[in-house]
Amino acid sequence: MTDLSKYRNIGIFAHVDAGKTTTTERILKLTGKIHKLGEVHEGESTTDFMEQEAERGITIQSAAVTCEWKGHRLNVIDTPGHVDFTVEVYRSLKVLDGGIGVFCGSGGVEPQSETNWRYANESEVARIIFVNKLDRIGADFLRVTEQVKKVLGATPLIMTLPIGREDEFTGVVDLLTRQAYVWDESGQPENYEVKEVPADMVDDVEMYREQLIETAVELDDDLMMAYMDGEEPSIEDLKRCIREGTRTLAFFPTFCGSAFKNKGMQLVLDAVVDYLPSPTEVDPQDLTDEEGNPTGEKAIVSADEPLRALAFKIMDDRFGALTFIRIYSGVMKKGDTVLNSFTGKTERIGRMVEMQADDRNEIESAQAGDIIAVVGMKNVQTGHTLCDPKHECTLEAMVFPEPVISIAVAPKDKGGAEKMGIAIGKMVAEDPSFRVETDEDSGETILKGMGELHLDIKVDILKRTYGVELVVGQPQVAYRETITQPIEDSYTHKKQSGGSGQFGKIDYRIRPGEPGSGFKFSSVVVGGNVPKEFFPAIEKGFATMMAEGPLAGFPVLDVEVELFDGGYHAVDSSAVAFEIAAKGAFRQSMPKAGPQLIEPIMKVDVFTPEDHVGDVIGDLNRRRGMIKDQEPGATGIRIKADVPLSEMFGYIGSLRTMTSGRGQFSMEFSHYMPCPANVAEGVIAAEKEKKANK
C-alpha cells in the first residue's frame, strides 16, 4: 500500500490568461514528465489537447496529469478560466484536496478569479497563491496581494518577494530561509543560483519575514509565547504552523514568479508538498441519503474502509468513454463489481488507467486518495457514487447551474440526424451544464448552454470531432413567466358520460412567490372537504402546467398555490379528476393574476483602458445595463454592471471595436427581472408568430 501522506490532489485555477496551463506545463517539465515544453500560444501544450483548445489558446475541459516531486505523488488538474466553463472548475474542486490559485501580476484579481475563489471557498479547498507573469509590463506583486485582501477577503501570507521588476525580474527571495534564487537568461528552470539577499532588499525581507512569523505562530500558543519572549521558532515549527493555517483556510501562502520564463516554479512545487494537505488531512466527504440530505456519516479516507468513489467527469475519446473517478475510501481493482448507488445497478470495472492528459498508463488497482479513469463504463454519469455492493452509500452530489442561452440546430442532410443524436448524447454525458431538448411542435433540436462561447464550441466539436454538419439558428434567451397579483378562485371539474363520472372541486389562492423560489404548493383544507389522498394529484396538476405560461408559453417561475377548500363525491372523485381540475384552474386563473414576462439578467464585468470608459459605459446603458461599480486598476478600469442577456449577443465584437481590441469581459447569470413592456410585447408577438407558422 502506498503512503497516503505522500499524495497531493491539486487543481490549478484562475482567470482566463493568468497562465494556468503554462504553470501546469512547467510543473510537468520540472517533475520530469515531459522533456519538451509545449506553449499555449503555439497551440502545443500537453493538457490543452483538444483542437479547439489549441486553436483558441484557452482551456475548455479540465485535464488530469500525474507526476512526482521529492517523493510525493501529485495528481494535477488544469482547469479552464473562461466563465462559460466554470462547471469544469466546480466539479474539479469537488474532488481535490488543495489548489493553486494563479493570478496575473499585471491583471491582478480578475472577475473569473473571484468566481473560482468562491467555488473553492464553498468546497473548503486549501490553496496556495501563485502570482504569475511578474516579467510583464505593469506587473506588481504587492498590489496583487492587496487586491487578494480587498476583493477576495482572503489573507495572503507572503512567502517570497520578487527580485527586480517587469523585464528586470530575475528571481525571488525565500523569506523563510532568507535565500535569493536567481535564474539566468537561458529560460531553463534548473539554471539558477542560490545567493545572499540583494543589499537593497534586506530591510523589506526582514519586515515581511517578521509579518510571516507573527501570522504563523498564532496557530500554536506555546510558540507564540516563546516568540513574544524573543525566541525565534525553527523553520520546521514555522512550516508546521503554516501547513495548519493553510489547511484551515486561515491564510494562503503566496508565492511569485514567471511560469513562462521558468522562474520561481520550484518553490511553488515545494509549497504544494510542504503546505497543501494530503487526502487524509482533509475533512472527509459527507454521505447523504437518496434525497441528498447528510446522514451524519463520513467517507473516511482510508484503504481499509469499504469502497466509496465519486465519478466527477465523463470524457469521450478515441478509446471509448472514460469515466474520471476520485476514490475516497477502499481499494478498486480491475475486474471488481461495484454498485452505482444512483441507478441501483452494478458495473464491472474493466480497464483502469492513470491519466497523462490524453495519454494513459494501464493500472491493475487504485486506492483511497487516487484520481484515475475507468474505460467503458455504461451507465455512470457525473456526480454518481460508486461503492461496495455490500455497503451501499451516496456521496454528496454535485449541483450544476441552469443554462441561460439556447440555439436551434438541424443536420444539413437527412443522414446526419442519427449521427447528430449519438454525438449529442455523448456530449451531454460529458458536460452537465450542456442540455439538449427537442421542440415538440417543430421537431427542432435545441441546445442549451452557459453562454455564446460554450455553444459555439459545442457546435465546433460536433462539426470536427463527430463530422456532423449543422444549420445553426439564432441564439435564444431563456425567458420565463411569473405573476404579479394574488388571486382567489374556484374551479369544478365535472363529467358525466354513462358509468362512473368524474368530479373534483377546488378552492385555491395563487400568489407571487419570492424570487428564485420556483413552485410551491400547500394546503390548509380542514374538515376533509378534499381528502388528503388527492393533494398530490392537485399539486401534480398545477406543477405540470408550470411548464407553459399564459403569455407566450415560457416556463413559469416563483408561484405559490394554496388549497383552502373544495368538494368531492364519494363515488365520482378520483386522483385523475382532481389533477384535471388543477390543470383547468391554472388555465382559468393565471391570465387573471397579472402575468409578466421575466428575462435573465447577467452579472457583467468589463475591463477597459481608461480612454474608452465613457464609450463602454454609454454602450452598456444603451443595452439596458445598470452600472453597479467602477474600479480603477493599474492598466485600466473594471466596470461591473447588470445587463439583460438578450442585449449581450455579439458583445465581444462591439467591445473590441470600441477599445481597439484591448477590452475584455466576462459574464455569468445573476437573476431574473421583469421585462420592460416594449421588449415583452416584441418577444410575445415573435413567439405567437413562431407557433402560427408551425
pLDDT of residue 47: 41
* pLDDT-above-90 percentage for the chain: 14
Positions of CATH 2.40.30.10 in the chain:
292-395
Distances in whole angstroms, Cα of residue 12 to Cα of each of 81, 137, 283, 370, 413:
10, 24, 20, 17, 42
The Cα 545–Cα 296 span in angstroms is 37
Residue 292 has pLDDT above 70, yes or no: no
Backbone angles phi, psi at 116, to 5 degrees: -65, -40
Which of the four pLDDT bands, split at 50, 70 and 90, describes residue 643? Answer: very high
> What sign for the dihedral angle of Cα 113, 125, 149, 261?
negative
Backbone angles phi, psi at 23, to 5 degrees: -60, -45
* Fold topology of 485-593: Ribosomal Protein S5; domain 2 (3.30.230)
The two counts, helices (H) then strands (E), for the chain are: 16, 38
pLDDT of residue 1: 46
**CA 260 to chain CA centroid, nearest Å:** 26
**CA 342 to chain CA centroid, nearest Å:** 22
pLDDT of residue 579: 92
Q: Which residue has the higher pLDDT, 271 or 631?
A: 271
Of 307, 298, 481, give the one whose Cα is nearest residue 391: 307
What lies within 8 Å, CB to CB, of 632 at 6+ separation is 610
pLDDT, tens digit, 9 for 90 and up, residues 176-202: 888 888 887 777 777 788 888 888 888
Instruction: Give the relative orientation of helices 20-30 and 265-275 as an angle to the nearest 10 degrees.
Output: 80
pLDDT, tens digit, 9 for 90 and up, residues 457-477: 788 778 877 788 888 877 778
pLDDT of residue 483: 92
**Mean pLDDT of the 493-497 span:** 81
Around Cβ 98, how many Cβ atoms within 10 Å? 24
The Cα 58–Cα 41 span in angstroms is 9
Residue 582 has pLDDT above 90, yes or no: yes
> What sign for the dihedral angle of Cα 51, 101, 637, 600?
positive
Which of the four pLDDT bands, split at 50, 70 and 90, describes residue 291? Answer: low
pLDDT of residue 35: 42
pLDDT, tens digit, 9 for 90 and up, residues 308-344: 888 877 776 665 677 888 888 888 888 888 888 877 8
Helix, strand, coil tally for the chain in percent (to 5): 30, 35, 35
Mean pLDDT of the chain: 79
What lies within 8 Å, CB to CB, of 173 at 6+ separation is 160, 161, 163, 179, 180, 181, 197, 198, 201, 205
**CA 290 to chain CA centroid, nearest Å:** 23
Of 594, 476, 478, 481, give the one whose Cα is nearest residue 546: 481
Q: In CATH, what class is 405-478?
A: alpha beta
Residue 158 has pLDDT above 80, yes or no: yes
**Domain 598-679 CATH (choose: 3.30.70.240, 3.40.190.10, 3.40.50.300, 1.20.59.10):** 3.30.70.240
pLDDT of residue 60: 36
Which of the four pLDDT bands, split at 50, 70 and 90, describes residue 509? Answer: very high
Strand ranges in 147-222 using DSSP code E only, listed in sequence order: 156-158, 160-163, 171-174, 179-183, 192-195
Positions of CATH 3.40.50.300 in the chain:
4-281
Around Cβ 479, how many Cβ atoms within 10 Å? 24
Instruction: Give the relative orientation of helices 221-228 and 202-217 as an angle to the nearest 10 degrees.
Output: 140
Angle at 462 between CA 460 and CA 467, to 5 degrees: 110
Positions of CATH 3.30.70.240 in the chain:
598-679
Quickly list DSSP for 422-486: HHHHHHHHH-TT-EEEE-TTT--EEEEESSHHHHHHHHHHHHHTS---EEE---EE--EEEE-S-
Residue 641 has pLDDT above 90, yes or no: yes
**CA 96 to chain CA centroid, nearest Å:** 13
The Cα 255–Cα 546 span in angstroms is 52
CA dihedral 176, 180, 183, 189 (to 10 degrees): -20
Distances in whole angstroms, Cα of residue 340 to Cα of each of 386, 391, 446:
5, 11, 30
* 649 SS3 class: coil
Residue 262 has pLDDT above 70, yes or no: yes
pLDDT, tens digit, 9 for 90 and up, residues 116-144: 777 778 778 889 998 888 888 778 888 88
Q: How many residues does the chain have?
A: 694
Cell numbers placing 136? 510583464
**Mean pLDDT of the 1-10 span:** 75
What lies within 8 Å, CB to CB, of 366 at 6+ separation is 327, 331, 332, 352, 354, 372
The Cα 376–Cα 319 span in angstroms is 9
Superfamily of domain 292-395: Translation factors (2.40.30.10)
DSSP 8-state code for residue 392: -
**Mean pLDDT of the 498-514 span:** 86
Positions of CATH 3.30.230.10 in the chain:
485-593
**CA 458 to chain CA centroid, nearest Å:** 17
Q: Which residue has the higher pLDDT, 563 or 113?
A: 563
Residue with cell 501529485: 74
Which of the four pLDDT bands, split at 50, 70 and 90, describes residue 627? Answer: very high
pLDDT, tens digit, 9 for 90 and up, residues 66-121: 777 788 888 877 555 444 455 556 656 667 888 888 888 877 777 667 767 777 78
Q: Which residue has the higher pLDDT, 426 or 540?
A: 540
Around Cβ 122, how many Cβ atoms within 10 Å? 11
Lowest mean pLDDT among 63-77, 280-294, 323-337, 636-650: 280-294
* pLDDT-above-70 percentage for the chain: 82
Pair 533, 579: CB distance under 8 Å:
no
Q: 511-547 as b/e, with b when 16 or more CB fall inside 10 Å?
A: bbbeeeeebebebebeeeebeeebbebbbbbbbebbe
Lowest mean pLDDT among 28-37, 162-171, 178-187: 28-37
Q: In CATH, what class is 4-281?
A: alpha beta
Residue 15 has pLDDT above 70, yes or no: no
The Cα 691–Cα 14 span in angstroms is 44
The Cα 347–Cα 363 span in angstroms is 18
Residue 388 has pLDDT above 80, yes or no: yes
